[in-house]
Amino acid sequence: MNAKPEAVLLPLDVERIRADFPLLSRTVHGKPLIYFDNANTGQKPVSVIEAVDRHYREHNANVARAVHTLGEEATASYEAARDAIARFVNAPSRDEVILTSGTTQAINLVAYSYALPRLKAGDAILTTVMEHHANIVPWQLVAERTGATVKAAPIDANGELIVEKYIEMLTPEVKLACVAHVSNVLGTVNPVREIARECRKRGIPLLVDGSQAAPHRRIDVQALGCDFYAITGHKMLAPTGTGALWAKREHLMAMPPFFGGGEMIREVRFEGTVFADPPHRFEAGTPNIAGFAGIPAAIAYLEGIGFDRLKAYEQELLAYATDAIENLPGVRIFGRAKEKEPVISFLLEGAHANDMATLLDLQGVAVRSGHHCAHPLMQFFGVPATLRASLAFYNTKAEVDGFIEAVGRVRKLLL
């Protein structure tokens, strides 16, 4: 039998793609913008901008409250976002998708609705040294209220999770395990499937922070085998104030509401309230309706490119940028994982990251500097801050060249 030929990935037409993103054509301080802060927030294509604009122009009304035409249209648009996200993460059911303002709200929902009622003194939550504060602080808050503790699995000098140590730390007192799918500082991709498999063996639910993974790779919560998965819309081309929590239905049915208010109830009496079934039980109040109108357009744009093509190009761009940065005098790169997304954190000897970022901005270059909401990771590497260049499929090698030239000019000013 003849072997099936491998699919040929057509290269991205990056210049055509860039034309879909209005902001990429602007200038900053008289210089063409080089936007390398994509791990902070992604830029928005015209299709997403138009979807939000269309909502306000044609369909603006509140959701799930009115039987008039506008109300029904707004509700249909809002629920279409749930459907799009359910397909995007391959959820078994749309009713397992809670629409949130982003990953931070999603993790807090799990912390207060799932973990808080179950924790007691002596219990523990396991996370890792490389986590964003959003996957540390909520656990500390609920641990303080219950007498539980928060444990952090270590990483190595390459910025890779020491998986065997993480597994070793899945001891009986651990009632919830957490891990970032992709580090926002290092770009490290963690072996979620392996971690989830070990958690299941021990009956420990696993929460995955997928905020940095969703813009770069196909998400399949069923294949990953986790219990909770959180995403942020604004990092994956969608509007700010949007995101979602996927959770196994068995967990959602057992979780009490985190917020109380309108539209998360069946009936309210002063003698007591009967709450709605998930997902609406966790969606009190008026949501970011216009923002969620942009979610299907954002997902359609990413899927229209195709994650295989997107990944191939971004990995090529990452390799090109890494080589260029490595050739800078006195450079130190943080994060040398075997599997990375296009994020490069680095420092130049003798130059403070914030000074570098400020002067690079004058050259039209947007990068992030600071601790990146990851103090424990900065402490591990013994630095107060790094400079982070985070790339996306709409960035180019020419921009990398321009970035390196700008760094060279700034270096001469500082050193």
Q: Which pLDDT tens digit goes with each residue over 142-196?
A: 999 999 999 999 999 999 999 999 999 999 999 999 999 999 999 999 999 999 9
Residue 399 CA to residue 45 CA, distance in Å, equals 19
Q: What is the pLDDT of residue 64?
A: 83
Q: What is the pLDDT of residue 4?
A: 46
Asked whether residue 357 is domain-assigned, the answer is yes
Three-state DSSP string of 258-285? CCCCCCCEEEEECCEEEECCCCHHHCCC
Least confident of 64-73, 213-222, 358-367, 378-387: 64-73
Unique residue bearing structure tokens 């270590």: 154
H or E segment to which residue 402 belongs: helix 397-414
Query: 346 pLDDT exceeds 90?
Result: yes
Helical segments of 97-136, H only: 103-109
State the pLDDT confidence band at 11, using cuts at 50, 70 and 90. confident
Nearest to 406 by CA among 325, 313, 323: 325
Asked whether residue 402 is domain-assigned, the answer is yes
Residue 278 CA to residue 98 CA, distance in Å, equals 8
For residues 67 and 170, membership in a common domain is answered with: yes
Asked whether residue 44 is domain-assigned, the answer is no
**Residue finishing a domain among 269, 285, 302:** 302
Least confident of 5-14, 18-27, 265-274: 5-14
For residues 172 and 275, membership in a common domain is answered with: yes
Asked whether residue 1 is domain-assigned, the answer is no
Q: What is the pLDDT of residue 300?
A: 98
For residues 316 and 289, membership in a common domain is answered with: no
Q: What is the pLDDT of residue 360?
A: 98
Q: What is the pLDDT of residue 268?
A: 81
pLDDT in tens, 292-321: 999 999 999 999 999 999 999 999 999 999
- List CB contacts of 107: < 8 A, sequence separation 6 or more: 134, 135, 138, 207, 209, 230, 245
State the pLDDT confidence band at 1, using cuts at 50, 70 and 90. very low
Active site residue 226: no
Q: What is the pLDDT of residue 317?
A: 98
Q: What is the pLDDT of residue 275?
A: 84
Q: What is the pLDDT of residue 8?
A: 61
Phi-psi bin for 90: left (phi > 0), alpha (psi -120 to 50), beta? left
Asked whether residue 8 is domain-assigned, the answer is no
For residues 171 and 311, membership in a common domain is answered with: no
Task: State whether residue 354 is helix, strand or coil.
Answer: helix
State the pLDDT confidence band at 266, using cuts at 50, 70 and 90. confident
Q: What is the pLDDT of residue 10?
A: 76
Asked whether residue 30 is domain-assigned, the answer is yes
Average pLDDT, the chain: 95
Q: What is the pLDDT of residue 7?
A: 53
Q: What is the CATH number of the domain that holds 348?
A: 3.90.1150.10
Residue range 207-223: average pLDDT? 98
Supply the DSSP symbol for 143. H
Taken in order 236, 239, 240, 246, the sign of the CA dihedral is negative
Q: Which domain holds residue 356?
A: 14-36+306-414
Q: What is the CATH number of the domain that holds 57?
A: 3.40.640.10
Would strands 124-128 and 174-180 be described as parallel, antiparallel, or unpaired? parallel
Asked whether residue 2 is domain-assigned, the answer is no
The single residue of 178, 199, 226, 373 carrying the catalytic annotation is: 373
Query: 72 pLDDT exceeds 50?
Result: yes
For residues 235 and 126, membership in a common domain is answered with: yes
Query: 247 pLDDT exceeds 60?
Result: yes
**Residue finishing a domain among 302, 321, 347:** 302
Asked whether residue 41 is domain-assigned, the answer is no
For residues 294 and 313, membership in a common domain is answered with: no
Residue range 98-125: average pLDDT? 98
Query: 255 pLDDT exceeds 70?
Result: yes
Share of the chain above pLDDT 70, in %: 98
C-alpha dist (Å) from residue 269 to 107, 329, 381:
30, 69, 55
For residues 336 and 407, membership in a common domain is answered with: yes
**Residue finishing a domain among 302, 318, 338:** 302
For residues 71 and 195, membership in a common domain is answered with: yes
| Cβ proximity of 221 and 65 under 8 Å | no
For residues 166 and 291, membership in a common domain is answered with: yes
Q: What is the pLDDT of residue 84?
A: 98
Q: What is the pLDDT of residue 339?
A: 98
Share of the chain above pLDDT 90, in %: 90
Query: 386 pLDDT exceeds 90?
Result: yes
| Cβ proximity of 39 and 368 under 8 Å | yes
For residues 277 and 386, membership in a common domain is answered with: no
For residues 251 and 157, membership in a common domain is answered with: yes
For residues 144 and 92, membership in a common domain is answered with: yes
User: What's the total number of domains in the chain?
Assistant: 2
